[in-house]
Structure 1
Amino acid sequence: MRTVFLAAFWTLLLDQVTKILVVHVLDLRTRGEIDVLPPVLNFRMAWNEGINFGLFAGNSDVTRWILIALALLISGTVVYWVWRDRPRRLGLIGAGMLIGGALGNVIDRILYGAVADFLNMSCCGIENPFAFNVADIAIFAGAIALVLVPAEKKGR
């Protein structure tokens, strides 16, 4: 379980540090957008009150607290799952990434009332209208790792 907690800690720290740097230090919340390596990588400020791609955004405190509770419930369920089924090391790291990402977005919802999304990537003439953050990447990668990495074989 140490691997899970370390991965969660470092993921959460990276997520929050990047948000502080981009949103506050570079003042993206006021500027709205900063071209970094156009068109491939840009910072575009987006406050996500829902889940991925703004789904279930209700702009209400009830929605916000339901999403916080859901993220905490999912994080607790993942901890229990990896404790019970014990995936291989990559699965443990994936679980930690998922938990750290979920907690990073929970912190945003508590502090700002919404998740701070700022990464925007486009390519090949296709303009991506969506923004995301480090926590979103970690949640996605962690979930993929948990699905693809089998549990350790238990001795008889």
Structure 2
Amino acid sequence: MTPLGAGTLAAIVTLVADQASKLWLLNVFDLARRGVVRVTPFFDLVLAWNIGISFGWLQHDSQAAQLALMAVKALAVVALAIWMARSHTRLVTVALGLIIGGALGNGIDRLIHGAVVDFALFHIEIGGNTYNWYVFNLADVAIVAGVAALLYDSFLGVPAAKAP
């Protein structure tokens, strides 16, 4: 499989897994009705509607703000797709595919629901105080993994061939 094929496959698998998990949690498991579901002592399922961007930044519920976020995401996906099409290494191409698939998954949420469906919550209790991580979803995991792979490649990957 070519690097572009691997990146495209990564984007499709990410998008399908993300949307399938959200559809199942919303429509079959009915997470909204169940409330907080304790899975382990450090992990819960909880429904959160994120109207902002990563980590809940830029929380705006106006239609203009939502459209602006969608436009920025669409431009980012186009730029990443161009980068992916020009990439020659499998790691970078798959990393970009993960980011694209995650961005598309969250973008579909924003189009359908007006917000991104988040549901995974890690937490820890220390000395009677509970510390929570941000609520996130599979698309967010893919985006973070893609960015980590790009950082790895930029610092430790095979150096690019120099022009003569």
Above 0.5 in TM-score?
Answer: yes
Match of 2:16 in 1: 13
- After the TM superposition, which segments of 4 or more aligned residues of structure 1 sit over 4 Å from their partners? none
Give 3-state SS (helix, strand or coil) of 1:146's partner: helix
Consecutive unaligned residues of structure 2, counting only runs of 5 or more, are none
Q: Structure 1 stretch 43-52 or stretch 17-26: which is displaced more?
A: 17-26
Correspondence list, 1:1-156, <5 A: 1-38=4-41, 40-84=42-86, 86-123=87-124, 125=126, 126-128=130-132, 130-149=134-153, 150=157, 153-154=160-161
Conserved in 1, the CA contact under 8 Å of 2:106 and 2:116? Answer: yes
Q: Within 1, Cα distance between the matches of 2:43 and 2:74?
A: 31
Q: Within 1, Cα distance between the matches of 2:88 and 2:141?
A: 20
The one-letter code sitting in structure 1 at the alignment partner of 2:16 is: L
Structure 1 length-normalised TM: 0.89
Max Rg structure: 2
Identity of aligned residues (%): 37
The count of aligned residue pairs is 154
Conserved in 2, the CA contact under 8 Å of 1:88 and 1:151? Answer: no
The one-letter code sitting in structure 1 at the alignment partner of 2:151 is: V
